[in-house]
Structure 1
Amino acid sequence: MSPQLPTAAQAKDQARQMRTKAGRDGAPLGHAKSLEIVAHRHGFRDWNTMSAAIANGPPHGWTVGSKVKGRFLSKPFTAHVVSVANVKPQWFRLELQLEEAIDVVNADGFSNFRSRISGVVGPKGHSMERTSNGHAQLEVDLW
């Protein structure tokens, strides 16, 4: 498998380009066959398997090395994705390296700076865990 999977739209565009080139070369290629070839090139046994893998993947921009923005304990941050793991369909554990450490304590006499955070976020980019004011503990903006 490729380390970075294309989106469904990118994979279908690869198949369309393949069909166009094959047609120009005088060897017409069907839609289904071109999708199967694209799947094989990415290490999958068939298009349905690849399509399912793409659908279960993280949202665009949530790949290792990507830059993301969000809020942790209501504090804004900008970070790079260190790791991403699928926990269950559409829920991902993200580990983030913050560009600038944030103080996650609201008290005047105490500080706790974080430069790396992790948490599980769902399809809307929010964690299930909530702070005392009802906001999601971790919110990662979707692109």
Structure 2
Amino acid sequence: MTQIPSRDVLKAQAKRLRADMKEKGTEMTHAASLETVAHQWGMRDWNTLAAKADVSEIQWYPGQRVSGRYLGHKFDGIIKAARLASSGFWSLTVRFDEAVDVVESQLFTSLRQQINTTVNAQGVSPQKTSDGQPHMVLNTP
């Protein structure tokens, strides 16, 4: 099953559709573009699609306890700051309970107690290490 993106992403799709139609000489209301996007996602109307988008979206918030893997290292911590970007990604500041060594070298260490990261609604960062693993993977609540 394809995951429905956030409402912000769906609204951006509707805005692009409306602009594309106008460029081609066809005027479309904002409401009509929202309904068309809903139909493209297989829903009967915008309200149904918007409700499903809200359900599929995990909310990250300050004070939330989290665990997961950062650069391959297990951690427990707390979200200090969270902001939803219009692209559907979250900008998070995570403070680890115990510092994480972010260096693989045996010759030195570099400990991090707090990091800023970007993740999707499922808690996975788009940035990847050289071996293809996401920088951050949060366990979903």
The reply to whether TM is greater than 0.5 is yes
- Structure 1 position 94, deviation (Å): 0.7
Instruction: Provide the TM-score with structure 1 as the length reference.
Output: 0.57
- Consecutive unaligned residues in structure 2, runs of 5 or more: 1-46
- In 2: Cα distance, 1:141 partner to 1:133 partner: 21
Alignment of 1:19-38 (within 5 A): none
Residues 1:116 and 1:57: Cα distance change in structure 2 (over 3 Å): farther
Task: Spell out, residue by residue over 1:11-69, the C-alpha distance to the aligned partner (whole angstroms, 9 max, x if none).
Answer: xxxxxxxxxxxxxxxxxxxxxxxxxxxxxxxxxxxxx7xx77x9399624x21111000
- Consecutive unaligned residues in structure 1, runs of 5 or more: 1-47
- In 1: Cα distance, 2:137 partner to 2:74 partner: 9
From 112, 130, 133, the equivalent of 2:131 is 133
1:85 matched residue in structure 2:
83
Q: How well do the aligned residues superpose, as a CA RMSD in angstroms?
A: 2.3
- In 2: Cα distance, 1:74 partner to 1:58 partner: 25
After the TM superposition, which segments of 4 or more aligned residues of structure 1 sit over 3 Å from their partners?
Answer: none
Amino acid at match of 2:110: N
- In 1: Cα distance, 2:84 partner to 2:134 partner: 19
From 56, 60, 63, the equivalent of 2:61 is 63
CA contact (8 A) 2:58 2:122 kept: no
